[in-house]
Amino acid sequence: MDCEFCAPQFFKQEITYVNFVRDRRLADIYMLGTANFNAGGAAVLTLYFVGENKFKGQNDTLVYKTVPNMADAEAREGLLSTVKQGLLKYIVKTDLLKKIDYTIDVGEQEQNGKVKDKWNYWVFNINANVDGSASSYQSDFNLNGNLNANRTTEKLRVETGGWYSLNKQKFVIDDSTTVTGLQSNLGSFHLMAFTLGKHWAAGHFATYFQSTQNNLRNSYSYYPGIEYNVFSYAEAGRRQLRFIYRLARAIRIILKQQCTIKKSELYGLHSFVVQWSQIEKWGNLYLSAGGWHYFNYPKNYSASIYPSINFNPLKGLRLGLWCGFSIVNDQFFLRKAEASANEILLEQVKLKTDYNYNYGFNINYTFGSKYNNIVNVRFNLDDNYW
């Protein structure tokens, strides 16, 4: 099983008539799981079964769909049922066929035809989170909340919502010095995307944003755009190669006037983005590259590229590489006044930079017994008292 959202321990306990192995090169059946999520929290989980050795050429694809706020136990049971269904076509080719018994339950909805949805496919989600920590010399308080509504059909996708976040920090340096910090962000968005066949889509995106960290009192933006996917959208869980072009009109109102532009200004800009993702037995590949350019500030732009790859070149060996690089030449909203040391350390303001980058590498090698069936949870190290 190569599946990030699957619980290996659960499946090993529930499916005892197959042997789980630790590496795909040791398997007779390889299962790859991918997930696509919508804004309401629902997911489409796609399971790709690939036969190896005596099952070579016997491949299958099954889909399991969750609903927003579905209990973990219910989602896990539904996924377990789907995995068992995927294994069935292989099991009937073995001696286990004699031990199979089954029933087919045709429910009332299947008998009456198409299901009627009283919500007309609209899904709503409200989320709020408050957390904090404190000691004798510091305290940290966080408040986050968001509201989303979405409607997804084959022809139209609509998402709208808003969010608010607040972070307060306090550090006691000594008896006479206390440092405090405050960050707040507020925003809303609206997305509408229309299906134009198997490869094309068009739509628009509108946003509103406030941020003390970004020195923005108000920011309004509207982005119409068009997208072309080289592969059919039906394959999106497995592979995508999308080209996206956007135009935008934006109004920015500055929180503090000590910056490089007017207090309020209208911008025209456009963006071109390429996104490529591929998930295969050997691993997965992802690439995102693109940038923004301003019509009324032609010398200003931003561009970035983010590639990553995770693959399994040899039995037991897994490698992961990722990096990112962006050129920054559109920081219009930075205040001219120099930031204090406290503001920098508490990340209360954005600082001028010409570029950003990150990188990483991971290697993992496993060897020994190929079987991976037994579950023993005694003394799980998931507490803080060891």
**Domain CATH for 83:** 3.30.160
Total structural domains within the chain: 2
Q: Which of 62, 97, 132 is the last residue of a domain?
A: 97
Asked, for residue 182, whether it belongs to a domain, the answer is yes
Q: What's the order of all strands across the beta sheet hosting 200-211?
A: 122-134, 138-152, 156-174, 177-196, 200-211, 216-229, 239-254, 264-280, 283-294, 301-314, 317-329, 355-365
pLDDT digits (tens, 9 = 90+) for 161-177: 999 999 999 988 888 88
The string of pLDDT tens digits covering residues 215-246 is 778 888 999 999 999 999 888 878 899 999 99
Same domain, 46 and 164: no
213 or 220, greater pLDDT: 220
Res 306 pLDDT > 80: yes
User: Is pTM beyond 0.75 here?
Assistant: no
- My answer on whether 234 and 352 are in the same domain is yes
Within a domain: 371: no
Q: Is 376 domain-assigned?
A: no
Q: Output the average pLDDT for the chain.
A: 85
Distance CA 50, CA 29 (A): 6
Answer whether residue 114 is part of any domain: no
Last residue of a domain, one of 35, 63, 97: 97
pLDDT of residue 62: 93
Identify whether residues 224 and 290 lie together within a single domain: yes
Q: Which domain holds residue 67?
A: 8-97
**Does residue 377 fall inside a structural domain?**
no
Q: Which alpha helices (DSSP H) does 54-203 contain, by range?
A: 72-91, 108-112
State whether 154 and 27 are in the same domain.
Answer: no
Poorest-confidence range of 47-51, 70-74, 295-299?
A: 70-74
Same domain, residue pair 214 and 280: yes
